[in-house]
Copies of this chain bind each other. A is one copy, B any other.
Amino acid sequence: MTNEELLTATALNSWKLIIDRIDQNLVPLTGEQLQKQVAPDKNRLFYLLGHLTAIHDRLFPLLGLGERLYPELDEPYITNPDRKLADPVSASDLKKAWTEVNSKLTAAFEKFTPEEWLQKHTAVSDEDFAKDPTRNRFAVVMSRTNHAAFHTGQAVLAK
Find chain B residues with CB under 8 A from A13 CB: 134, 139
Find chain B residues with CB under 8 A from A150 CB: 149-150, 152-153
Q: How many copies does the complex hold?
A: 2
- Say yes or no for A31: interface residue by CB 8 A criterion: no
Which residues in window 122-150 of A have CB below 8 A to B?
133-134, 136, 138-139, 142-143, 145-147, 149-150
Number of interface residues of A (CB under 8 A): 38
- Say yes or no for A33: interface residue by CB 8 A criterion: no
| Contact A10 B134, beta carbon cutoff 8 Å | yes
| Contact A117 B7, beta carbon cutoff 8 Å | yes
* Complexed CA–CA distance, A133 and B1 (Å): 9
